[in-house]
Amino acid sequence: MKSGQPRLLVSVRNAEEAIAACLGGADIIDVKEPLNGSLGRASAEVMESIAASLADCAADRVPTASEAMMQEAVATKRPLSLALGEVDEWLGDSGSLSLQMQSVVASSRPRYLKLGLSGLCSQGLASEHSWKDDWKRVRAMLSGDHSWVAVAYADHQRAEAPDTFDVCAEAIESGCSVLLIDTFVKDGTTLLDWLPLPKLRELRVVTASANLQLALAGRVTERELPALLSLSPDIVAVRGAVCLGGDRTATVCSDRVKSMVTSLRDCSG
């Protein structure tokens, strides 16, 4: 990866897609079920199978001639990220979800965990600060050697979620390592439709001063890269752009991942 080039995060829904993302040159493998929403939580079985496939690919073995190229492409284990759904899905849980996910986190050892904040700023909430308490309470359920990604929805009004600058401030206060700016409703609109570049630059100044990594998502395609890379993000996160037909519910294609990696390199030049 060229110096100054952001890392590419690819969201995958099964082990086959994880291998395709690795072959294409993805830097971070994120587990997500797109049918379950922007941060759709996959099943525990899927999370564990993807973690196992990445470990197998990185394990030392003697490849056959036909496997040599693939082995070289996936020889280094990629950092794993797990999308855990929305905080409000965890509230009121009897404990079965937290126990199950704690087991997954212990076995798969992800680098990053992320939770969405949709629904936490609806009119019925008594206090504007309650979303912070709910977020911290759910995060405390999952111990381990991982970093938390704070997720700010650019279309936060539609998500009934906190404002992006409020999430950024709380991410710094509560020790998150990454701020991910994404879109909640997947209706074809892009990140820049909801947060123009001047606002994103303001956020970038704040994250840079706090040593908080910035990840950008929200229907990012190669067309948006020149504008977004002017912000010097640390991570660019994609799914639809690297799926067949550009459909986020379709299958991740290694050639499309390669194309995105090439565009990141060229635009970072």
Consecutive 10-residue averages of pLDDT for the chain (269 residues)? 82 96 96 96 96 74 45 66 95 84 94 96 61 93 94 96 96 97 95 96 97 97 94 97 94 96 90
Told to judge if 114 belongs to the known catalytic residues of this protein, a careful annotator would answer yes
Give me the pLDDT at residue 62, please. 35
Strands (E), 217-255: 235-238
According to the model, what pLDDT value does residue 56 have?
Answer: 73
From the candidates 2, 77, 114, 258, which is the catalytic residue? Answer: 114
The residue type at 6:
P
Residue 29's H or E segment, with its range, is strand 28-31
Q: Is 119 within 8 Å of 159 (Cβ atoms)?
A: yes
Whole-number Å distance between alpha carbons of 200 and 203 = 5
* Among 204, 259, 192, CA closest to 235: 204
Q: What is the largest CA-CA distance in the chain?
A: 64
Which among 2, 32, 132, 136 is annotated as catalytic? 32
Query: What is the C-alpha to C-alpha distance for residues 267 and 257, in angstroms, rounded to an integer?
Result: 15
pLDDT of residue 124: 52
Phi, psi of 166 (to 5 degrees): -65, -40
pLDDT of residue 254: 96
